[in-house]
Amino acid sequence: MENVKILEVINLKKYFPLKSASFRPFAQRQYLQALDGISFAMYKNEILGIAGESGCGKTTTGNILAGLYEKTSGQVIYKGKDISNLKGKELKQWKKDVQMIFQDPFNSLNPRFTVFRNVVEPLRIYGLNKNVNEIEVVSNALEAVELRPAKMFLYRFPHQLSGGQRQRVSLARCLVINPKFIIADEPVSMLDVSIRSAFLELLKNLQQEEELNVFYISHNLSEIRYISQRMVILYLGKIAEIGSTDQVIDNPKHPYTQKLISAVPIIDPNRKRERISIEGEIPDLVNLPPGCRFQSRCSYAEKKCFAIDPELIQIEDGHSVACHLYSRS
Amino acid sequence: MLNSSKFLADILNVNTLRRMLAGSISMLWWVTNGIITTFRLRELGYQGKIGVFILLFFIFIAIFGKALAPYNPKESLVGTDGKFKSLQTPSLQHPLGTTWQSRDVLSQLLYGCRPTLIAGATAAFMVAFIGVNIGIISGYFGGKVDMILMRFVDIVFGLPFLPFIIVLVSMLGRSQMNVIIAIVVITWRSVSRVVRSQVLTLRELPYVKAAKVMGAGDFRILYLHIFPNVLPLSVLYLAFGFVWAILAHADLSFLGFADPEVVTWGKMIYSAWAAGVMTTAFWWYIPPSICISALASAAFFYARAFEEVANPRLKEQ
Amino acid sequence: MLLEIENLKTSYRTKEGVVRAVDGVSLKLAKGKNLGLIGESGCGKTTIVKSLLRILEKNGQIIEGKIKFENEDLVKMDEKHFNNILWDKIALIPQSSMNSLNPVYKISSQIFEAIKLHRKDAKKRKGAYLSKMIEYFILMGLDPKRINQYPHQFSGGMTQRAAIAMAMILNPALIIADEPTTALDVITQDQILKNLLELREKFNSSILLVTHDISLVSETCDHVAVMYAGKLVEYGNVKEIFNEPLHPYTMGLLNAFPDIQTSDKLLVSIPGIPPNLISPLSGCRFANRCPFRVELCMEEPRFIRKSFKDEHYVSCHRVDEAENLRTLAKDPKIWKTLKS
Amino acid sequence: MTYRYLIERTAMMLLTMFALLVIQFFMFRLMPGDPSASIVSGSLTREVQLQLRKSWELDKPLYVQFVNYVYKLLHLDFGISFFKRIPVIEIIRYRFWNTVIFMLVAMIWANFIGIVLACVSVARRNKTGDTALILLGSVCRATPLFVTGIIVLTIFSYWLDYFPLGGMHAIGVGSSTFLGRFLNFDFLYHAILPIFTASLFYFTVPFFVMRTAMLEYVGEDYIALAKAKGQTNVNILIKHLARNALNPVVTSAAMAIGFAISGQVIVEIIFRWPGMGTELVYSTLRRDYPVIQGTFFLLGIIVIFMNYVSDLLYLYLDPRIRYAKFE
């Protein structure tokens, strides 16, 4: 895959202000540090997976890219410009280029609109439906997501469809204005296991045919391994490890990634998996201790880890990790 | 996530107002649709059907009341023997007897229906229009807008309901329109709070977020995506508004603050009470009392039946 | 035999008609053993749990069948006796513990409510039970200081641990875990299952694990029962079901499950949508989604015992060709060429 | 977390009271028909009118009037009644407590009935008991209070003559001490009928809100878990269902108090109860502005204070607000 950078995220931060519990009017405002400076790049025509436990900031990143949240600081560079100071036509173009699928199939479609009305909405927002036959465009989009025959689904309501079909309609709603980016926020986690791979297959093929870039968010590592070429492991708003899927899963470097992979249950009862035990709860995101965020739960933690926050260091081609075990000093 | 200049520009541009009106017309359509569907919906139960049937009956009287009335309600009738027919018991000539000022009770009753219904309907619709729109805007935009609007609602909640209407009407003058305005100015407050709390949950749903990601404008999302899903609740509170308006109107006319020329049920009961004929002329104040409570109960039944349709969770129990 | 369900039939009355959620299911669970009940949405596994504990919704009703617990039929049992057994001998770990704990009461008072119902001396020996509660909290990896807090002050993982502590507090013989870790992250799920198994070892109680996640069952249970559309399609011990699945649906499920350790496993997807339980098709209910369907499948398959070694039951007409069906089922293309 | 909410809510209450003051000030000043119009009638000569206007300080700029107005209000000086020529506070002080005590007793009693009937109606879901209660509730809610008042008065006073026609005391009975007025049988004897009528109207708000809330919570998971614990149905209904349904009842108190205050005015008129309601209505008819302002302001204060109390009650009832959410 030619590694032409299509999107770059530099030192992205997102702090949510908290109502200060104490009433002192000038009390230093407490912040929930959801994202604390993450940087990564997305290459052309690739599915980038983001994995991590709930509360690690993966959905926040997705929401910032999709424009739902405004970032506190850092940059998101698309076509050489930071998306937050795009104006007018360029902003509209960026809004058209990025679309999003959501986790909850029951609420990701407007219950009062038919499938047709849901899918045609983006066209009507951008006025693209003027000189084109809406029915035809929507039917093609439905056929593209394997909802065949399209006319059978056009005038049905979301509550008449199964979970899998609804997620496909959401995907069709994204494809109808042929975007460059699709942000998928755990699209299959609420679907039955037996029909998940069909949706993942569909997403993979569409990504190849339409030359899309998919930003795949999930807490299920096996899913990420199945669908994405490169992946990022997030822990409490910071990147723990980044690299190609095989590199990260076959020989994980960061202690947290090792723990994450060892905790995934195996389907074959004959093969035993050695469980790395881990103690303690995820620390509170408001007043975080200095140094590495995994220090309270890491068995290799040493003096340095409690003081300095490790940066991302490249340890092999395309595979970098943020842990003092590998820092050169 | 909101800068006030963009918000103000948005709220004043023409297609927002167009959408606001479209929203309200769809609210009206829902009411008429609601009345029609209650006959088709089997499971709406007898409550809904009784409510709608009585409502239609009163609408019929409001329209044809004047034509049906045998006498002029304000004219004191003189009997064949030249004497005023005051306080006559119900007879063939006067099915509901006559009042102390020897006016026919039945025609007063028929005349009284229209002003009450008009007052109730217009007040209910204006209450729903103001309440729902304030609820939606403050629920959706949140932040400063929400804080300002909700503090304003808290202040309006601080005003005593009927005393405020009494003072306002006595200040503005006792015409029928002023009575409606006084009722509307204070009744919208409960609707806005209820609608706002539902919009707060709807705003977090994925299909609203998807619309935002698609680049839809705030007011397009508000009136195309959020408003239709708030409609059942707003129609429910439209019905409640109708009940509150009718009760307030009746109270005002009972206390003597309503339009003196207009004959209303409240005034009939007041004059009976003032004349102190409680134990004797029951035919004078009982029928208007039954009419008021029947009309208000009908609207209330319709609202309760509609609530079950609007709130699926109630249906299964 | 701790628990025996014989030909249980439970259905729900809805506007559209009668939904036969559980249509003749028989299960056995020996004392001290764990049974995994696997099935996807709409297969009736939760309905079995609700029928067992009599917490069916208003429109749900047990039509037929017996649920024998320690040789007493729970269905016919009178209310008072049944309430004594509940939580004392059979306890439930709910799916989403966040909304299964009453938000207005402290965690300790909710646990104590269970104790008061079943232990006459609860009031007198309050101190002893309180220390027992603290002991279970520590066992489940919870900070005992949190015992007097409210459910909304707990994270997802913590409420689930509190729910398990509540379930185990009276050392019940049978623990029913209805999708205990679905809403949790992988690491928390791993810890909770480890704690649950330790506690189970300590009191030799058996677990009925109801879930859609096969990998959980293969790591915690001895026997597995696979359900589809209200019927039991396969029952046997864990190793046998994994190594030699006999029913096409079980094969499909096993091949649809991504495996973290092997990157090149081709994932299968079962086409079609779950069946409508109001008027299910006659014969095998998996027929319309099964790639190996034959004319014979139109008749109702009997639930027959295949291998005598260790009680391996299946209900499929093409059981004898299971050997080559298994190899065929591994290739996703076979599932795509479905005759509609 | 709790005292932060407390301080915020108290500040909000004071702000609302101030807002009531502002609204009331402007409402009376800017309304058509200058407030002193009724006294300064056209027939008086020009300079007498000017002199009177000066004595009512109507000639000073608005903000000066406002500052004086607030200053006087803080000293409970509502000015002199146009009609009775005595300071308004004299009229109102006596009536204020009559209204407050009456409302308090009626509200507490009505909420108690409403909650009990809601439990009964949910316990007997879809049986005759439930539908009967709904019918009763709907009719009571829909009938204007003066109709119920008249009917109750006619039956119990005129025909059966069990209770007095109205008023708060038999003639001649009175007592100097503040509490003495209320804590005697004569007061009770006079108060039963009006309180019964008022509670017939007030109980419907808590009744319907609680019933709907309980029906919604029946499907919640913690109810199923309570049943699984072997809890009896009665305990589930009271300890779990009713207890949780109290939250929405208290949050809907703001609306209920709005109705209660209107009902208060009507009941006082019907039963000739010497409260602020009657004073407001009669002074409005007589266009006696200072008295209207006084009664309106104090009725507003009662409403604002009762909203404040119901919010604090909600704080007590729902732990989710009392304790901040922390991991």
Q: Taking the domains of chain B in order of start, what are their residue ranges?
A: 34-78+89-316
Helix (H, G, I), strand (E, B) or coil at C225: strand
Q: Kindly state whether B1 is in contact with chain A, defined as any CB-CB distance less than 8 angstroms.
A: yes
Does residue B153 register a pLDDT over 80?
yes
Which DSSP symbol is given to A85?
Answer: G
Q: How does pLDDT run across C56-92, given as a tens digit for each residue?
A: 888 889 999 999 998 888 888 898 899 988 899 999 9
Neighboring chains of D (3 or more beta-carbon pairs < 8 A): A, B, C
DSSP class per residue in D88-105:
HHHHHHHHHHHHHHHHHH
Question: What is the pTM for the complete model shown?
Answer: 0.86
Q: How does pLDDT run across D113-168, given as a tens digit for each residue?
A: 999 999 999 988 878 888 889 888 888 888 888 888 888 888 888 777 777 777 77
Tokens of residue C317, six digits: 């007409």
Which residues in chain C are contacts of A267 at CB distance < 8 A? 214-215, 218, 242, 254, 257, 259
Residue with token string 């409550």: B47
Q: Kindly state whether D323 is in contact with chain A, defined as any CB-CB distance less than 8 angstroms.
A: no
Q: CA nearest B231 in A: which residue?
A: A112
| β partners of residue C25 | C8
- End-to-end CA gap in chain A: 33
Lowest mean pLDDT among A20-29, A214-223, C189-198: A20-29
Q: Kindly state whether D172 is in contact with chain B, defined as any CB-CB distance less than 8 angstroms.
A: no
Which residues in chain C are contacts of A219 at CB distance < 8 A? 185-186
Q: Kindly state whether D312 is in contact with chain B, defined as any CB-CB distance less than 8 angstroms.
A: no
Q: Kindly state whether C15 is in contact with chain B, defined as any CB-CB distance less than 8 angstroms.
A: yes
Which residues in chain A are contacts of D327 at CB distance < 8 A? 281-282, 284-285
Residue pair A112/B229 in contact by the 8 Å Cβ criterion = yes
Could you tell me the CATH number of the domain that includes residue A156?
3.40.50.300
C-alpha distance from B187 to closest chain A C-alpha (Å): 29
Q: What is the pLDDT of residue A184?
A: 94
Residue pair C156/C98 in contact by the 8 Å Cβ criterion = yes
D280 contacts B269? CB cut-off 8 A: no
Q: How does pLDDT run across B30-65, given as a tens digit for each residue?
A: 666 655 655 555 555 677 778 888 888 998 988 888
Residue pair B250/B211 in contact by the 8 Å Cβ criterion = no
Residue pair C246/C315 in contact by the 8 Å Cβ criterion = no
Q: CA nearest D7 in A: which residue?
A: A23
Domains and CATH numbers, chain C: 3-221 (3.40.50.300), 245-335 (no CATH)
Q: Kindly state whether A84 is in contact with chain B, defined as any CB-CB distance less than 8 angstroms.
A: no
Which residues in chain A are contacts of C189 at CB distance < 8 A? 263, 265
B214 contacts A107? CB cut-off 8 A: no
B316 contacts C57? CB cut-off 8 A: yes
Total domain count for chain A? 1
Q: What is the pLDDT of residue B315?
A: 45
The percentage of residues in chain B with a pLDDT greater than 70, rounded to a whole number, is 86
- The count of CB pairs under 8 A between chains A and D is 12
Burial class (CB in 10 A: 0-12, 13-18, 19+), C48: buried
B251 contacts D144? CB cut-off 8 A: yes
Residues 114-153 of C with CB under 8 A from A: 141
Residue B119 CA to residue C255 CA, distance in Å, equals 68
Q: CA nearest C268 in A: which residue?
A: A197
C-alpha distance from A66 to closest chain B C-alpha (Å): 6
Q: How does pLDDT run across C252-302, given as a tens digit for each residue?
A: 888 888 888 777 778 888 888 777 788 777 788 888 888 888 888 887 777
Q: Which of D198, D196, D195 is closest to D259 using CA atoms?
A: D198
Residue A17's domain spans which residues? Answer: 5-326
- D17: which residues sit within 8 A by CB, 6+ positions away? B158, D300, D301, D304
**In one letter, which amino acid is A163?**
G
Q: Which of C271, C283, C268 is closest to C326 using CA atoms?
A: C268
Q: How does pLDDT run across A80-122, given as a tens digit for each residue?
A: 888 888 888 888 888 889 999 999 998 999 988 899 999 999 9
What is chain D's mean pLDDT, rounded?
82
HSE-CB at A293 with a 13 A cutoff on CA atoms is 24
Residue C300 CA to residue C281 CA, distance in Å, equals 10
Q: How does pLDDT run across D47-89, given as a tens digit for each residue?
A: 666 666 666 666 677 778 788 878 888 887 777 777 778 888 8
Q: What's the CATH superfamily of B34-78+89-316?
A: MetI-like (1.10.3720.10)
Residue pair A175/A92 in contact by the 8 Å Cβ criterion = no
Cα–Cα distance list, D71 to B155, D55, D68, D92 (Å) = 21, 17, 5, 19
Suggest the residue from A194, A217, A278 to mutate for an interface test with chain C (most C CBs closer than 10 A).
A194
The mean per-residue pLDDT over the stretch B306-311 comes to 66
Cα–Cα distance list, D180 to C30, D93, D96, D169, D184 (Å) = 75, 16, 16, 12, 7
Q: What is the pLDDT of residue A51?
A: 92
ipTM: 0.85
A284 contacts D7? CB cut-off 8 A: no
DSSP class per residue in C50-65:
HHHHT---TTEEEEEE
Residue pair C168/C203 in contact by the 8 Å Cβ criterion = yes
More confident residue, C153 or D159: C153
Which residues in chain A are contacts of C243 at CB distance < 8 A? 270
Q: Three-state SS string across A157-190, please? A: CHHHCCHHHHHHHHHHHHHCCCCCEEEEECCCCC
Maximum Cα interatomic distance, chain C, rounded to a whole number of Å: 69
Which residues in chain D are contacts of A287 at CB distance < 8 A? none
Q: CA nearest A283 in C: which residue?
A: C155
Q: What is the pLDDT of residue D41?
A: 52
Q: How does pLDDT run across D205-256, given as a tens digit for each residue?
A: 899 999 989 988 988 899 999 999 988 889 999 999 999 999 999 888 878 8
Residue D77 CA to residue B50 CA, distance in Å, equals 54
